[in-house]
Structure formats: structure tokens, C-alpha cells
Structure 1
Amino acid sequence: MPLTTLLFSFQGRIGRQTFWIWNCSYYAMIIGFVVGANQLFPGIASFILPVFLLLILIPDLAMTAKRWHDRDKNSWWLLLNIPLVIGRMSVPVGANAMAANEPLLYETIISAAALICGCWILIECGFMKGTHGDNRFGKEPV
């Protein structure tokens, strides 16, 4: 599968290995960006992180959709990503933001929903096998 199709198409299927390679790369990019942004732009790092996260959102959703397809589930399962996206966009980056008081109720609810949805996605997409043979979303990934 060409890289552009892999990263930007919501069609087809991918196996667990490709999913794990993507997720390790995805989180390494986020960590690298946060570290670099805090070093280069300490005053505005918390403002540019959401922009970076939006730039890599489509590839992340496309990869996850393909993994749901491998499990013979449609792309509506991407709705589980909503609490994760909201949580990522609201995470403080700077040391000053981390020293804030206790989280507000809505932050706690979003965090709990993100944890539950993230665990579900991790188990379904990261650990469970895909459909054996062809399914309605395409051929079995290699």
C-alpha cells in the first residue's frame, strides 16, 4: 500500500504490526514535538501543540479506521477517538500549566472517558486479530 494511501485513505485494512508501528511513531512524534517546542518556543509551546496534533489527526484516524476494518467493523468506531482528541488538545504543555490546581470536573470526565475509550481501542485494534481472509473492507493484510 503506498504511503499516501496508508496515511490519508480511510479505505482498506491494516494488520496489528502496521498499527503498532504507526502508533509508536505517532507518540514519538508527539513527544519529540513537545520537547522541541518547549526548548525552542517555551512561551507558546502550549499554543502550537494543538496545531501539530491537528496536522497528524487525519493520518491517525485513517490508520485506526483501517484497523477497525480489519476487525470487520465500520468507521463509526472512530467515534471512540473523540474523548482522546479532546483530551490531547487540552493537555497542558508547559511546566507552569502542570503546576495548576486540581482538575475541574469536566477535565476529570474527559480524562476518564479518554481512558476508557483508549483502552477499548488498544484492546480491539492493538491486540485482537483481524478477520481471517477477505471481508467487506478488502483483502486480508499481509
Structure 2
Amino acid sequence: MTRFLLAAAPVDITALRTELLQPEAGGFCCFEGWVRETNGGRAVFGLDYQAFAPLAVTEGQAILDEARAGFEITDAAAMHRSGSLRVGEIAVWIGVSAPHRDAAFRGCRYIIDEIKRRVPIWKREHYLSGIEKWVAGHDLA
């Protein structure tokens, strides 16, 4: 089952979370990444995400499968937005359920780090000054 969603419109996060409720899970960890109002000292009013959808979904699902195999987690799901977003909107969401909290935390961290590193999604920020700029969605170090 595909648990990685690339969404062009806002998604009901409660529905995603509900799908991860499992009787054997005693812990749940989620991460929400929001569009913030500044980046690098510049005022931001919004951004655009563009993705190569077939590869983004395939790679996103591979990351979730790796997390399930590599951590003692029950289930995991992730959503990344595409298209135009404004300050305050959810850009990325990850949820992980596990028998114990430590595995949920570690699995969640692994998933967001790998999404940022591997999934072909690009970000263009729109600044209040009128300038637009493509920016890295991850650390380049």
C-alpha cells in the first residue's frame, strides 16, 4: 500500500494520522513542516513546490519502506505538497506509529531527512521584495 502522498491541495492530516492507529502501537510521532515568513533574512510571502511526481512518489514510498524495515515501527506515512503555498500552510507531514516512543522518534527523523535528501521536489520562494528564488530544500553540506 502506498503511504507517500504528493498533494496539490491541502490534505486532512487527521485522516492520515487515523490510518496509523494500530492496537500494537504505544507511541506516535509526527513532524509538520510549515511555510515560514522568513528565510535567510528575507521576508517570504509564499513559495512554490515543483516535483517530478512519478519519481517523487516512488522514492517517498521507498523511504517509508526503509523506515519500516530499519526501525521497530508499526507503520508510517508521509505527505508533501506541490504547487503554491502561503505562509503557515503545511508543506510536509510525516507520521510514525511504533510500540515504543524512541522508535517512533527515530523513524520520523529518518523519514524527513531522507525526503529532503532524495525526493525530487524543488522549492521557489517568493519574497515581499518581489524577487523569486529557487532554494535548496535540504542541506548541501
| TM superposition score normalised by structure 2 | 0.28
More strand by share: 2
| TM superposition score normalised by structure 1 | 0.28
Over alpha carbons, which structure has the higher Rg? 1
